[in-house]
Amino acid sequence: GLLAARALPEAGEADGDFYRGKLQACRYFFRWELTKVGPQLDLLQSIDTTTLDMRDAWF
């Protein structure tokens, strides 16, 4: 997004459309996809790791 935003002012019409599309995709991702990450991370942190903590050498 940062590179597209920097390149947009100097871009021609076709390249400008390309960069505007990239910026719009970034907006979508930040607003709709990244908001899902927090709850997923909370779920991963709350999972009991008892079975994962077992070591082969303990058998």
Which residue in this structure is represented by tokens 């100097």?
A: 10
Which residue in this structure is represented by tokens 């996809």?
A: 33
Say if 56 falls within a structural domain: no
Q: Containing domain of residue 18, as a range? A: 2-47
Q: State residue 8's pLDDT score.
A: 87
- Interval 1-59: pLDDT, tens: 888 888 888 888 888 888 899 999 999 999 999 999 998 888 888 888 887 889 999 98
What is the chain's mean pLDDT, rounded?
Answer: 89
Q: Answer for the pair 19, 40: CB distance below 8 angstroms, yes or no.
A: no
Q: State residue 33's pLDDT score.
A: 95
Question: Please, which residues have CB within 8 angstroms of residue 20's CB and are 6 or more apart in sequence?
Answer: 8
**Measured distance CA(39)–CA(7) in Å, rounded:** 34
Q: Answer for the pair 50, 42: CB distance below 8 angstroms, yes or no.
A: no
Number of domains in the chain: 1
Say if 52 falls within a structural domain: no
